Amino acid sequence: MNPVRIRILLCDDHAVVRAGLLALLGSEPDIEVVGEAGSGEEAVAAVAKERPDVVLMDLQLGPGIDGVEATRRISATGVRVLVLTTYDTDADITRAIAAGATGYLLKAERPEELFAAIRAAAQGRTTLSPPVASRVMERMRGAGRPALTSRERDILAQLSQGLANRDIARALFISEATVKTHLGRIYEKLGVDTRAGAVSVAKEQRLLP
């Protein structure tokens, strides 16, 4: 008897990466690639047409909607999404999981881990790469981090508008050194290490007005 095949849709904006995945997955008798997409919009459209069991989704997809938004739209249809990416920042992981991703795998994982993650995703089970799982645990342990002060929230609000430290200092009538000090505390409390990460997490946790 032929095994029941797991129908896969690949979404990555690099054709070479898709070709590599296509060749790799072709070695597994129970996995069948039924479509490819180079953008978030293409992935959403292809899911509606092909109705795959699992979508392998990269996060950075160039112009248009990113992998997180594509994941949100696809997950809403009941199709499972397994993120396959090189990015493992707290903000990326949090956004993808919040968008409904069934699993989060890094491209550095061995092929066997990818096959296992696909099979788990098809069954609705969550799979996280070890580094990702560690970061998730760290975030959970840090759930009791001190709350942001009113001044830190003010700076975060200015940060969300794309202002540089000098402009934030002028807007709040404080020194640039003070801004830098507050930013360091904000990063620590939110568990991030970039301005974009701070804004992303702040939006998810509804810390911005």
As a whole-number percent, the residues of the chain with pLDDT over 70 amount to 93
DSSP structural state of residue 129: -
Q: Which token pair is 168? A: 């934030």
Helix (H) or strand (E) holding 35: strand 31-37
Q: Which token pair is 66? A: 């990113």
The pLDDT tens digits for 74-122 are 999 999 999 999 887 777 888 888 899 999 999 988 999 999 999 999 9
Q: Are 71 and 57 in contact (CB under 8 A)?
A: yes
187 or 131: whose pLDDT is higher?
Answer: 187
pLDDT at residue 193, rounded to an integer: 85
Q: Strand pairing partners for 56?
A: 10, 82
Distance of CA 101 to the CA centre of its chain: 8
Kindly report the pTM of this predicted structure.
0.67
d(CA 27, CA 41): 28
Could you tell me which of 100, 103, 112, 8 has the C-alpha nearest to residue 54?
Answer: 8
Could you tell me which of 43, 33, 41, 34 has the C-alpha nearest to residue 11?
Answer: 43
pLDDT value at 15 more than 60:
yes
The pLDDT tens digits for 134-188 are 777 666 655 555 678 889 999 999 999 999 999 999 999 999 999 999 999 998 8
- Average of per-residue pLDDT values in the chain: 89
d(CA 29, CA 188): 46
Q: Are 203 and 196 in contact (CB under 8 A)?
A: no
Could you tell me which of 65, 60, 62 has the C-alpha nearest to residue 44?
Answer: 65
